[in-house]
Amino acid sequence: MSPDTGVLFRPFQIKSLSLKNRIVMAPMTRCFSPGGVPGENVAAYYRRRAEGGVGLILSEGTVIDRPASRNHPGIPTFHGDAALAGWKHVIDAVHDAKGVMGPQIWHVGSVPVSDTDWLPDGPIESPSGLLAPGAPRGQAMTEEDIADAISGYAKAAANAKRLGFDTVEIHGAHGYLIDEFFWEGTNLRTDGYGGATLPERSRFGVEVVKAVRAAVGPDFPVILRLSQWKPQDFSVKLAKTPDEMSAWLVPLREAGVDVFHCSQRRFWEPEFEGSDLNFAGWAKKLTGAATISVGSVALSGEFIAAFGGEVSQSAKLDELLRRMENEEFDLIAIGRSLISNPDWANKVQSGHATELQGFEAKLLGQLV
Ligand SMILES: Cc1cc2nc3c(=O)[nH]c(=O)nc-3n(C[C@H](O)[C@H](O)[C@H](O)COP(=O)(O)O)c2cc1C
């Protein structure tokens, strides 16, 4: 018998954002935007997920106006007339299919990608010129660079609203620029943007959120994506206790975050010993904000192993449904399973979850 998936299809409202269900398309970089401009193929790809019933689409990471904000020539920018016209076409196509969408605003910091030797026009930048402890990459940002980056996030958010997007997500996770400030392993600064404690190292993130909030006004929902883990080191925990997590997240919440998007590789893994709450569960409990969870929903294997060629079979939804019934978090993001099943939401809602396809990396070779 197929499980009762009704909890996934309850509407959700926050500020000006109304969602018909709790299913979010996770941001996934696809590198199909030559010259940084998303074209017809990108619009059709997102439109297809809207037609497939997903409640909220978060775009692939799309970068702010800094010389080295991206690390691959196929990553879309979120600045410049041509790219913004491309994004306007994307949101119009999604709205036409009754979808709801926000761009994920990004700066890669000093993180490289392995499948290209392409280099950006300007110098690679990061808080202290590091990719990881003991691994130099890029140059340390000056306070002027920092101010310009903050203004880049704010301008991108203002453009998201102007183009008609329904929300905006700031990418503060996965070892990229904002996260490089959070992490003691990559932020050795001795000015006001560094420090021994996580709240001190959060100043950059807090200033980005404040600038974005000021740019979009009080009613436009702002999502912030965070992760404890980094691709540079899966074992890192920025916050080792609930108290440390509270000291990290509450200032970000007060700066203007409406929704924390708490990235885990496996959503069912407890964040701290002694409770089975996951990261999104703790973030909700500690801040009162709405939260999105993510990580290996409907799949047997996690996404980094998938990049290495591991094939994931489709997996049951029972544990997800249990946690959502308990209101541990508000929304659930689906990544790879939405690449292999554009109609994920419609399939699950109509009782056909057992027909969901698994995932393998070769699917990333084309944008469909
Ligand atoms: C191809 C691919 C590209 C990704 N790109 C991004 C990205 O641009 N921004 C981001 O925050 N996460 C990115 N992620 C991580 C996903 O948003 C998601 O957190 C991860 O895939 C786990 O979800 P899943 O197990 O349902 O796939 C990417 C994942 C994949 C598979």
Could you tell me the domains of the chain? 6-365 (3.20.20.70)
Tell me, in angstroms, the distance from the centre of ligand 1 to residue 196's CA: 30
Spell out, as residue ranges, where the chain has pLDDT lower than 70. Answer: 1
Which residue from 23, 25, 29 has its CB within 8 A of the most atoms of ligand 1, so it is best to mutate? 29
Copy the structure tokens of residue 197: 């404690």
Tell me, in angstroms, the distance from the centre of ligand 1 to residue 335's CA: 6
pLDDT for res 114: 82
Which residue from 23, 25, 28, 357 has its CB within 8 A of the most atoms of ligand 1, so it is best to mutate? 28
299 Cα nearest atom in ligand 1: 25
Tell me the three state secondary structure of residue 102.
strand
pLDDT for res 30: 98
* Residues 344, 298: Cα–Cα separation, whole Å: 10
Q: What angle do helix axes 81-96 and 143-163 make, rounded to 10 degrees?
A: 40
* HSE toward the beta carbon, residue 7, CA cutoff 13 A: 18
Q: Verify whether ligand 1 is closer than 6 Å to residue 33 (CB atom).
A: no
Q: Verify whether ligand 1 is closer than 6 Å to residue 110 (CB atom).
A: no
Tell me, in angstroms, the distance from the centre of ligand 1 to residue 150's CA: 24
pLDDT for res 1: 59
237-287 pLDDT, tens digit per residue, is 999 999 999 999 999 999 999 999 999 999 999 999 999 999 999 999 999
Tell me, in angstroms, the distance from the centre of ligand 1 to residue 56's CA: 15
Which residue puts its alpha carbon closest to atom 2 of ligand 1?
Answer: 28
pLDDT for res 311: 95
294 Cα nearest atom in ligand 1: 23
H/E segment holding residue 13? strand 12-14
* Residues 195, 210: Cα–Cα separation, whole Å: 20
* Residues 47, 26: Cα–Cα separation, whole Å: 15
79-135 pLDDT, tens digit per residue, is 999 999 999 999 999 999 999 999 999 999 999 998 888 999 899 999 999 999 999
Query: pTM for this one?
Result: 0.98
